[in-house]
Amino acid sequence: MLLLDLGLGLGAGLAAGLGVLGAGIGIGQIGGNAAQAIARQPEAAGKINSAMIITAAMIEGAALFAIVVGIIMIS
């Protein structure tokens, strides 16, 4: 029973953690590249910003699936 609890806790932590790790890398890339793009073409900043936010939201959605799975596992 203790082992099962331990496994569930570890699994939930890993599910959320690894899911968020991937999203973190992805959003970091988006942010970095958007900053570069704005530096090259400052007049397109508005368009780049909204594209950046939408793409980041899509990736974040994937990470949140992982978090929800983690929450369901422990509750």
Cβ-contact 16, 70 below 8 angstroms: yes
Q: Look up residue 14 and give its two tokens.
A: 């890993």
Residue 9 CB, shortest distance to another protein, in Å, is 10
Q: How far is the CB of 33 from another protein (least distance, A)?
A: 19
Structure tokens at 31: 């942010």
Residue 1 or 75 having the CB closest to another protein = 75
Distance CA(7)–CA(71), nearest Å, equals 14
Using DSSP's 3-state secondary structure scheme, residue 1 falls into coil
Residues forming the site for another protein (CB under 8 A):
50, 53-54, 57-58, 60-61, 64-65, 67-68, 71, 74-75
Closer to another protein by CB, 35 or 57: give it.
57
- Phi then psi for 40, rounded to 5 degrees? -75, -35
Closer residue to another protein, CB minimum distance, 9 or 28: 9
